């Protein structure tokens, strides 16, 4: 035998799953337990006390019915035999006066015709009637046991015999149907994961703190409404409101920050204080919720399975009710049995009684009542399942009651699970929604960030850059720590890979800040912070992957002087639309674009009237359309690097104010158009390095004001005399070519200060080279020079001399007469340096405060 507890365990689920059991499932579980009790009680009673008692129907009774004219009294004698476990066998004689003919006691071996004998005297009959109390059948005990068992199986209806087992089987099927979605592998894993995450979200300290903070913010807003707008002093811009961001500009228009006149500070409720351990656990929960949502929202298997098992239970209820109701009347106390064993018993018909009939009938009625209630609940469940779309769940109420207005609506199995949880307790969904909100996640990151990055820690990361400015570089953080804006003496702020960067109004106290770097950091600014940046920011660097990463407020900084844009501006989707707002940058002087342009964006001409320097650094993409350059008449410096140019663009010749031109890393082979540079009277610097130029045309003499000429890393084999007619030339760089000879005309360049001819095929140095007495830098490395003339002593202003990589055997002692030359400026092998006299070496080793000047 099995106990009730063992059977009830089939209906038992993990306690954590109870949050997914609505009231109807719980009620049906209890009904199933009651039905189990009915089945077990009926089965126990049937196994221990169920029995059938049968008595033969004597032939005299039949005969009396056949001969109604016969008179007199007859005794109907029966013997009742009771059987049971542990009971003694007993026989009892019962007398009936219903028959008109007296049937004497006979033996089974006698024929039936001999059973009727003529009566004796009346006194003997009366004596016999007086002595006996019933009629005897002469059946022994084994025959009664046999006939009782035969009639139990033949006379009783099958439902009376198997009712407890049917109830047990039906109940087990209903229990399995109710909890199958908890056991099915493909749904069990999702449910288990969901319940685990839901429990952690409900118990997480961050949930309580976030909801409490919402309440604090609501009370603060009400307080601010009462006190008025004076409680939030804003930064007062020195310029007009022109250039303020429009409504569609990505800014933070509502701030939770307060400022006082003495010290700007942030009022954070005390509930935001979160332990580091709790903060890390909450961060992990946000990630788990995000992944679980992406996994569960893809399918609706849980919903379909729950609907399916509910339909199965409803069909099961209808089936049970239909066939069970028909068997209520079949359960009876009395039954007629015709076992057809007359050759063994001697009787053809028996009348039997079923002692459990009344009990089974009561239990059956109770079971029908329970199954009806169960069925009506199943019908209600189906009504609930199809009344509203359970594959959609809205957090609208939570959004209205909290500050987390960005909690998204969910769908499919995720939505269905939340609907089921709401039937248990709606507080679970409300607390769970906190971990679906990006605002909530950002608040958590902000709190954790401020705990980690204190003012002292940030101060340790401040350094000085090449321009001797205080610089702070923040990399891959979840946000911008509040303590950053307490560094009031900071000059440069670099924010890299901070996707949720927010610049609050507190930045207005950083009065020294003039340069800002945003590397893959689409920062949002508050209105007050924007006003400050618009008036004070002078230099801005923006590095991006997609043009959408460029904050919209960047194009409204009307006092900006320098703008550096590094990223993709030529994709099919972008179409360079991100530069259309440059017209607002009315004071922009320098524009640097590192991208993959095929043409100069027309919108750059919006800043043409005041733009003085334009740099376009391509990634090897060929720059084809350059007509926009003609409108930039005020550009003084132009750089077109790595643009796959094959010739000098004609549009450049229209830039009358051009002073410096850099066409580095292109594919220029010929520069015959250089004669057109004679119209550019202000051109002083021409950089054609890292190209494929073979020769220099003699028309270069027309660029009379040229002061710097860079032709390194080309394919030059000689230097024409026309180059040395440029009397104003101060810097000449022809290094890394194939030049074998330095012409004697080089002595004509009396203003030459920097001469670079490294990496060529020079073997001798002309004496005229040392007539360039203003030379400060002379690079002769990686050539074939065998000796240095003593006339090197004429270069009194020489500060840098490179001789390494030649075929020299010694250095002239006259180097000691170059008073400004020091060992740090002498690039030569150590063994050659040792060939100098000791006095010369001592002089070269002396310290000097004269800075090294390099023209490159």
- Domain coordinates of the chain in residue numbers? 4-57+155-188+308-387, 716-848
Output the pLDDT for position 724: 93
Output the pLDDT for position 409: 87
Integer Cα distance of 628 and 625 in angstroms:
8
> Which residues on neighbouring strands pair with residue 563, listed in sequence order?
540, 591
Query: Where does 84-121 have alpha helices with state H?
Result: none
Among 538, 490, 483, smallest CA distance to 511 is for 490
Among 69, 135, 55, 80, smallest CA distance to 102 is for 135
Contacts of 454 (CB under 8 A, 6+ apart): 483
> Which residues on neighbouring strands pair with residue 543, listed in sequence order?
519, 566
Output the pLDDT for position 274: 62
Contacts of 121 (CB under 8 A, 6+ apart): none
CATH of domain 716-848: 3.80.10.10
Query: Where does 1-140 have alpha helices with state H?
Result: 4-8, 23-49, 59-66, 122-131
Output the pLDDT for position 119: 43
Burial class from Cβ neighbours inside 10 Å (0-12, 13-18, 19+) for residue 5 reads: exposed
The answer to whether the beta carbons of residues 830 and 851 sit under 8 Å apart is: no
Residue 304 parent element (H or E): helix 301-325
Contacts of 679 (CB under 8 A, 6+ apart): 653, 656
Q: Percent helix, strand and coil across the chain, each rounded to 5?
A: 45, 10, 45
Integer Cα distance of 196 and 203 in angstroms:
11
State which CATH number among 3.40.50.1360, 1.20.1440.80, 3.30.1360.80, 3.20.20.140 fits the domain covering 4-57+155-188+308-387. 1.20.1440.80
Output the pLDDT for position 848: 53
Structure confidence by residue, pLDDT tens digits, 691-707: 999 999 999 999 989 99
The answer to whether the beta carbons of residues 405 and 399 sit under 8 Å apart is: yes
The answer to whether the beta carbons of residues 542 and 520 sit under 8 Å apart is: no
How far is CA 319 from its chain centroid? 48
Strand spans (E) along 727-848: 731-733, 754-756, 777-779, 800-802, 826-827
The answer to whether the beta carbons of residues 280 and 205 sit under 8 Å apart is: no
Length of the chain: 856
Contacts of 236 (CB under 8 A, 6+ apart): 531
Instruction: Compute how many other C-beta atoms are within 10 angstroms of the C-beta atom of residue 559.
Output: 17
CA quadruple 165, 170, 173, 178: dihedral positive or negative?
Answer: negative
Output the pLDDT for position 545: 87
Q: Dihedral through CA 108, CA 113, CA 119, CA 125, nearest 10? A: 30
Output the pLDDT for position 154: 83
Integer Cα distance of 224 and 228 in angstroms:
6
CA quadruple 165, 167, 168, 173: dihedral positive or negative?
Answer: positive
731 three-class SS: strand
Among 597, 699, 566, smallest CA distance to 686 is for 699
Integer Cα distance of 199 and 16 in angstroms:
8
In this structure, what are the phi and psi dihedrals at residue 360, rounded to the nearest 5 degrees? -65, -35
Which residues in the chain land under pLDDT 70? 1-16, 59-135, 138, 210-275, 571-581, 847-856
Output the pLDDT for position 60: 55
Instruction: Kindly report whether the global pTM for this prediction surpasses the value 0.85.
Output: no
From residue 208, how far is each of 201, 212, 222, 441 by CA, in Å?
10, 6, 21, 14
């Amino acid at each position: 035998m099995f106990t009730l507890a063992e059977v009830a365990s089939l209906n038992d689920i993990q306690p954590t799953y109870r949050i997914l059991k609505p009231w109807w499932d719980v009620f049906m579980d209890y009904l199933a337990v009651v039905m189990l009790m009915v089945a077990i009680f009926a089965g126990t009673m049937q196994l221990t006390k169920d029995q059938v008692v049968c008595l033969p129907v004597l032939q005299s009774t039949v005969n009396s019915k056949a001969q109604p004219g016969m008179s007199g009294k007859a005794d109907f004698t029966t013997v009742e035999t009771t059987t049971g476990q542990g009971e003694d066998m007993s026989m009892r004689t019962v007398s009936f006066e219903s028959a008109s003919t007296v049937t004497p006691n006979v033996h089974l071996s006698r024929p039936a015709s001999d059973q009727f004998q003529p009566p004796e005297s009346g006194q003997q009959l009366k004596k016999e009637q007086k002595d006996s109390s019933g009629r005897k059948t002469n059946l022994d005990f084994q025959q009664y046991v046999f006939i009782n068992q035969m009639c139990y199986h033949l006379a009783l209806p099958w439902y009376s015999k198997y009712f407890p087992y049917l109830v047990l089987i039906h109940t087990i099927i209903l229990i399995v149907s109710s909890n199958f979605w908890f056991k099915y592998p493909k749904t069990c894993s999702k449910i288990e994961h969901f319940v685990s995450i839901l429990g952690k979200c409900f118990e997480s300290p961050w949930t309580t703190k976030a909801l409490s903070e919402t309440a604090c913010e609501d009370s603060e807003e009400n307080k601010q409404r009462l006190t008025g707008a004076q409680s939030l002093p804003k930064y007062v811009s020195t310029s007009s409101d022109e250039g303020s961001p429009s409504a569609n500009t990505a800014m933070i228009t509502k701030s939770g920050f307060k400022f006082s006149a003495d010290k700007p500070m942030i009022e954070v409720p005390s509930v935001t204080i979160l332990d580091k351990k709790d903060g890390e656990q909450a961060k992990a929960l946000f990630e788990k919720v995000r992944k679980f949502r992406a996994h569960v929202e893809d399918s609706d298997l849980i919903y379909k399975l729950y609907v399916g098992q509910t339909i199965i239970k409803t069909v099961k209820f209808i089936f049970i009710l239909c066939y069970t109701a028909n068997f209520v009347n079949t359960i009876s106390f009395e039954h007629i049995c015709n076992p057809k064993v007359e050759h063994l018993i001697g009787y053809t018909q028996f009348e039997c009684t079923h002692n459990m009939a009344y009990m089974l009938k009561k239990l059956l009625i109770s079971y029908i009542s329970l199954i009806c209630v169960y069925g009506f609940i199943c019908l209600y469940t189906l009504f609930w399942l199809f009344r509203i779309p359970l594959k959609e769940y809205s957090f609208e109420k939570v959004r209205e009651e909290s500050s987390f207005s960005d909690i998204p609506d969910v769908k499919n199995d995720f939505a269905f699970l939340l609907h089921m949880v709401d039937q248990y307790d709606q507080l679970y969904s409300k607390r769970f929604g906190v971990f679906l909100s990006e605002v909530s996640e950002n608040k958590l990151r902000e709190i954790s960030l401020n705990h980690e990055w204190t003012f002292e820690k940030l101060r340790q990361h401040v350094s000085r850059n090449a321009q001797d400015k205080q610089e702070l570089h923040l990399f891959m953080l979840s946000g911008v720590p509040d303590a950053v804006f307490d560094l009031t003496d900071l000059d440069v702020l670099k924010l890299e890979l901070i996707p949720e960067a927010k610049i609050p109004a507190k930045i207005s106290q950083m009065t020294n800040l003039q340069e800002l770097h945003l590397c893959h950091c689409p920062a949002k600014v508050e209105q007050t912070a924007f006003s400050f940046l618009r008036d004070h920011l002078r230099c801005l660097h923006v590095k991006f992957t997609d043009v959408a990463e460029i904050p919209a407020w960047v194009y409204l900084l009307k006092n900006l002087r320098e703008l550096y844009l590094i990223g993709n501006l030529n994709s099919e989707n972008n179409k360079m639309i991100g530069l259309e707002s440059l017209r607002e940058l009315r004071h922009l002087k320098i524009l640097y674009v590192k991208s993959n342009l095929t043409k100069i964006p027309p919108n750059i001409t919006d800043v043409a009237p005041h733009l003085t320097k334009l740099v376009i650094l391509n990634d090897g993409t060929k720059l084809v359309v350059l007509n926009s350059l003609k409108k930039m008449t005020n550009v003084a410096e132009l750089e077109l690097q790595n643009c796959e140019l094959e010739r000098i663009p004609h549009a450049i010749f229209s830039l009358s104010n051009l002073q410096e031109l850099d066409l580095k890393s292109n594919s220029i082979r010929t520069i015959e158009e250089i004669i057109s540079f004679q119209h550019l009277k202000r051109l002083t610097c021409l950089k054609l390095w890292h190209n494929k130029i073979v020769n220099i045309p003699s028309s270069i003499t027309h660029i009379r004001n040229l002061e710097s000429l860079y032709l390194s890393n080309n394919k030059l084999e000689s230097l024409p005399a026309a180059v040395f007619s440029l009397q104003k030339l101060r810097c000449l760089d022809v290094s890394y070519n194939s030049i074998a000879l330095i012409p004697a005309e080089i002595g004509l360049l009396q203003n030459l200060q920097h001469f670079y001819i490294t990496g060529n095929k020079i073997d001798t140095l002309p004496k005229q080279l040392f007539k360039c007495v203003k030379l400060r830098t002379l690079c002769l490395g990686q050539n074939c020079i065998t000796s240095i003339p003593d006339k090197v002593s004429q270069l009194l202003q020489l500060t840098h001399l490179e001789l390494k990589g030649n075929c020299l055997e010694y250095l002239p002692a006259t180097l000691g007469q170059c008073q400004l030359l020091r060992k740090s400026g002498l690039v030569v092998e150590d063994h050659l340096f040792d060939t100098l006299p000791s006095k010369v070496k001592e002089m070269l080793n002396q310290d000097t405060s004269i800075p090294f000047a390099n023209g490159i």
